[in-house]
A and B are shown apart, each in its own frame.
Chain A
Amino acid sequence: MILPALLLIPFLYIILAILIKSKKVKTWLSFAFSLINLGFAIWVMAQVFEAGMIKTQMGSWPAPFGITLVADRFSAFMLLVSALVFAVVTLYSIQSVDTARIKNGYFLFAHGILMGVNGSFLAGDLFNLYVWFEVMLMGSFILISFGGERAQLEGAIKYLILNLISSFFFVAGIGILYGKMGTLNMADLSQKIAQSGDVLSQLSPAMVLIVVGFAIKGALFPFFFWLPASYHTPPPAVTALFAGLLTKVGIYSLIRIYTLFLYHSTSFWNPVVLWIGILSMVIGVFSASSQYDFRKILSFHIISQLGYVVIGLAFYTVAGLAAAIFFLGHNMISKTNAFLVAGWVHRERQTLNLKVLGDMFKKNTLWGVLFFISAFSLAGLPPLSGFIGKYLVIKAGIESGHINVALVALFVGFFTLFSMVKIWIEVFWKNTPPEVEAPVNTKPLPHGLMISASIILALAIVGMGVFAGPVVNFCEMAASDLLNTELYINFVLK
């Protein structure tokens, strides 16, 4: 019964935040709720660790008829990492986000996102998944648009419309699928698809719609446009939250339906997914290295790094999926932390343009170290989490015979290194260009909570690298569960 709690905690906060007026109470309550959420995520993880999978049939209606919440190892892993990221970003936001936004319900909408994210990771029902996508979209749209400066609104509208298209595709796909299969429960669907045999091809339009829906959410090539168009506009804390959670839900869902539905027609889907992954990796990294805005570089990199996850999925072996899962977790943490540092730079200098920044390492060594850890983790250098992720993907590629794909991933890593070092050199090492007016207020702004938040994530990055053994072990178990579709079907339906 602990699974519904993960939905109720953010829901409760939303209700409380509407009722409570005091800004201070709302703020600290938000942090408290994010910690409770983290606690429950740990609890779920502990239970899943023992049992492998846990489920709740909502309203006690038996499986294909009611809505099932399921947490297998993959879900539990994603829940835990996202709960950590959420708690840390909440802590960071307390200091980083302006009062006006907090007064107008910043934390309320953030908890809306959390509810959507938790729901998506737990949903065992395709339509229910759609509902959680909507919750997430609504929360995120308001966060990205409100308090708007002009550029922000322009980004917001692109974000909204392109994501609505995603929802439209997704729900259309669900409709068609329901018309044919008469069921929405994912395990039931998977079972029935497996039995369908020769009429399988009739399902493909629905599958295309759903996959494209997820690919838009996951910002994969060629559906990523909304991400670089909007991520650099809202306050940095919002970007950090989005970078950590949103696209990952799309990728999570893609992995979920691939292992439940799409694996029946690999001859079509495998090359499609593989190429989506390769092109996302390559185009993301090329675009990133051409940018001169701290956040834009990082945003384009999200696309590139999700490409790694997708090729891991396309390898479709235990090693490949384990690599994909590990990489997802690593990326959520490292990327969020990089954005947290960007937020500090923005706070100090009111700009994120690399050409006018400089001297930040001199200004605060610790923030520099924190960025160094995140950036070099993203670039895949040992002993940080990114290295393990890269190693796992490359190893899985070589083992499954995709040597050329693995080589592409390798050289994408090289260009990633280039753009991360570019940020490091331009923002932290370089002197502020003389023609730029030096910032007058030399007194550092308070950043105690912000830096603590970032330190927590940096420790997680190092921990996931240095003590990768158990994590990878867990990811491998999660991956073999995913490949064993029967296991999931039997567990949910019986």
Chain B
Amino acid sequence: MIKYLPQLIGFLFIAGLMVPLLYPILKAKLGLFLSLIPLTILIVLFSALAGLTPESLYLLPSSWGLLPEMNFGFRIDGLSLVFGLLISGIGFFIVLYAAWYMSKYERQGHFFTYLMLFMASMIGLVFSDNLLVLFIFWELTSVTSFLLIGFDHHLAKSRQAALQSLLITGLGGLCLLFAVVMIGQVAGTYEISVLIERGIHLGDHPKYRLIFVLLLLAVLTKSAQFPFHFWLPGAMQAPTPVSAYLHSATMVNAGVFLLMRIHPVVGGTMEWKYMLMLTGIITMFLGAFFSMGQRDLKRILAFTTISALGTMVLLIGIDTPQSMKAALVFFIVHGLYKGGLFMVAGIVDKSTGTRDIYLLSKLFKPLPFTSIAAVLALISMAGLPPMLGFIGKELVYDAQIQLPGMSWLLLPLGIGANIMMVAISITIFTEVFNPFGKRDPIKVKYREKDFPWYFLGGPIVLALAGLMLGLMPGMLDTLIANALYAAKNQLLNVNLSLWHGFNDVLLLSLFTVVSGIVVFIFRRSLNVHIGRLIDWFDKYHLPTLFAKGIKIYVDRAYKRTQIIQHGYHRFYLLTFFIVTGLLIVAQVNWDFLSVMPDGGYTPLRINLVLLLVVASLAVIFAVFSRSRLSAILAMGVVGYAVAILYLMYGAIDLAITQFLAETVIMVLFVMVILYLPKFAVLSTRNSRIRDWIISLSIGALVTFVVLHARFINLYEPISVYFIKNSLTMAHGRNIVNVILVDFRALDTLGEITVLTLAAMGVYSLFRFKVKKTKSKKEL
């Protein structure tokens, strides 16, 4: 059954694109209908679990792709299954949840299009066996999440958040593309299965650092790691189903997935360990810390997600078998409780109209089932038994303790982060759900019975799944072992259980819980200090800085553009001539003797001299003339002089053409000039001197180059052939004529067209009056 997975992913894409057609038919049932697709995928993935052994790998090669090297081959192993199950499972509940949550929205259809495309990209990402295809899906998640985050695009905040997330994840995407192409270049393949099979590891390659830094940037941006974490809290501008999905199983977890996926190829080096541990622990601590000072339920959860992602990155950085196992379990734990909690936040929001935890209170009564689900999820988040979160946290501690040398840094910060998590969990419970609280119960608009089952089902099922896995963690053993085999490329025995006996880890857990309760009790005075710290941090508020950065960039770019595209025609011309002159000077052969022909110059003819004098006078007149019209007429004289020159050498046809062209061009010029302002001498003395120097040197250069060319005939010119064959083969005595109408007739056709167009253009320009009224508005 699993072999239909690519078709199912394709179906998901198509379903997303078909939504505009389905929506008018299904209306409010659209969400329910669409939820069947992730459900099917979930079932198919479950079926793959049946025959799973720690080493099993199922490849679905494909010959189709955008390019031969981008073939859409899929691989099903433990790692992709862990992610795929969560993405499709939580996705199923999210779609159901959204079916009711979004029912009041005007553009529901758009929403489901984006959501389906996003889900399809995410599933494609985790199952693809080709790094380039993985990148394609990666970029698609960025684009679709951009559309989802900016869904309420009439709000400036949403637009800002969407832009921020797209730019940051887009930057990471570019880095990923580059890294992938470099890996393909170095390793000779983009196929993950081939890379692993051949045991390619790039650790010793001279380009390793570059590849690693680019990959790291991709992961840090996508997974909202410090210092790129700030886009994630902004992203909660999205409708709640989206936040729930982005945070729990998708988007931000893609970075974590990539780390595990690529680990066999680039992992395990010193750079890998230290960079990931460093960013991981900082992010873990900061995320938890910032969540303490928030009031908005969604915002609190957003910061705890950052902390959780930091934990996973840290664990992957520690890079022991134990830590990898911990990272995987933690991913499952986090996905289950975070998905549930966000959906709870949405339910609370719908029911009361607010998400401020200090306004909410005693929600247990109106929302009993939701509250139970929330409590279970909070227990998991705090890492208490019997939830799966407890096992996750135990593994984290274990991994941190086992690390030689670095535990002095990682343990305190890690424990600190967990203490805050415990405190936060308790805070949320007491403020929002506790039925025995001191504050008055908040007024509710909707009670639980007002909501349909599919709106409430998600959090409850996810919480129960967390509980069940906590009680029977053995169910995960094979899956995790297989995932570890994929990520670490080595076989490990995985044995998950709630009770590990009395040891250091358990003591640390106890210490964490006790400290968490203490922090909770003193939270009010603590929050004052934290609030002060956060205020201080707000001076360096990253989203603001980001917006400011963009503004500075745009302003700078604007000023630069004003310098380059300044609008002064004369300087454009200046640039052209100077650059061309410099390029020629850099290349020309400065041998003045070569200008002299072997047989000396031919003697001058008197009429030629006269013509030259007239032309030169016309040029000088044009330069000094104070009227545009007379300057153009003077230039016309030069043109006619050239025509006469042709005449003198017997090229009558050419001369006529020149006369005609000159005339038409002059008319066109005059027409344009009518609309220019009055002529005035604006240039200063200095600029005139500069112009003189430049034009004279360009003139001299051109003269030199032309003289240079005239007297070196390297090969017999083709005109010899024309002379020889004009009469015999083309039957014409006037060679110029024959060239024009026979040898090179096509050129003449082209020139005729130019003339025709010019004539028609002049005609149209005269007939087609300029609209003056409209132009004022444009300016």
Contact = CB atoms under 8 A, between A and B. Distances in A.
A365 to B, nearest CB: 8
B714 A196 contact: yes
A186 to B, nearest CB: 13
A487 B561 CA distance: 44
Given A141-B761, A149-B770, A180 B712 contact: yes
B750 A119 contact: yes
Interface string A158-176: 1011100100010010011
B565 interface: yes
Q: For the side of the interface on B, what is the size category? A: 35 or more
Given A145-B765, A157-B672, A196-B714, A417 B708 contact: no
Q: For the side of the interface on A, what is the size category? A: 35 or more
Interface in B565-584: 565, 567, 569, 572-573, 575-576, 579-580, 583-584
A45 to B, nearest CB: 21
A172 B170 CA distance: 47
Interface of B: 65-68, 110, 132, 135-136, 139-140, 143, 146, 150, 153-154, 159, 162-163, 166-167, 170-171, 174-175, 177-178, 181-182, 184-185, 210, 550, 553-561, 564-565, 567, 569, 572-573, 575-576, 579-580, 583-584, 586-589, 594, 668, 672, 675-676, 702, 705-706, 708-710, 712-719, 721-722, 725, 742-747, 749-751, 753-754, 756-758, 760-761, 764-765, 767-768, 770-772, 774-775, 778-779
Given A176-B709, A268-B587, 19 more contacts: A69-B746, A138-B754, A138-B761, A142-B761, A142-B765, A146-B765, A151-B778, A157-B676, A169-B580, A172-B706, A180-B712, A204-B588, A290-B560, A291-B558, A388-B67, A391-B181, A403-B210, A410-B177, A414-B174
Interface of A: 7, 11, 14, 18, 58-59, 61, 64-67, 69, 100-101, 104-105, 108-109, 112, 115, 119, 127-128, 131-132, 134-135, 138-139, 141-142, 145-151, 153-154, 156-158, 160-162, 165, 169, 172, 175-185, 192, 196, 199, 201-202, 204-209, 211-212, 216, 222-223, 225-226, 228-229, 268, 272, 283, 286-287, 289-291, 300, 361, 365, 376, 381-383, 387-388, 390-391, 394-395, 398-399, 403, 406-407, 410-411, 413-414, 417-418, 421, 425, 429-431, 465-469, 472
Contacts of B717: 178, 182-183
Nearest to B753: A135
B155 to A, nearest CB: 9
B1 to A, nearest CB: 27
Given A208-B587, A283-B564, A381-B143, A59 B743 contact: yes
A391 B181 CA distance: 8
A259 to B, nearest CB: 20
Interface class of chain A by DSSP = helix
A290 B557 contact: yes
Contacts of A413: 174
Contacts of A158: 569, 572
Given A105-B760, A146-B765, A162-B573, A383 B178 contact: no
Contacts of B668: 141
B761 A146 contact: yes
A343 B315 CA distance: 53
A148 to B, nearest CB: 5
B672 A153 contact: yes
B675 A150 contact: yes
A472 B775 contact: no
A413 B170 CA distance: 10
Given A58-B745, A65-B722, A430-B159, A14 B580 contact: no
A18 B757 CA distance: 10
B519 to A, nearest CB: 42
A228 B758 CA distance: 24
A398 B185 contact: yes
B281 to A, nearest CB: 29
Contacts of A222: 575, 579
A287 B556 CA distance: 10
Nearest to A399: B185
B751 A134 contact: yes
B765 A67 contact: no
Nearest to B142: A381
A206 B672 contact: no
A104 B580 contact: no
Shortest beta-carbon contacts, A-B, top 4: A182-B717, A131-B750, A290-B557, A142-B761
Given A61-B743, A201-B589, A425-B163, A135 B750 contact: yes
21 contacts: A14-B756, A18-B756, A65-B721, A65-B725, A104-B764, A104-B767, A112-B757, A142-B764, A146-B765, A147-B768, A148-B675, A149-B778, A179-B710, A225-B572, A287-B564, A382-B139, A390-B177, A398-B181, A417-B167, A418-B550, A421-B163
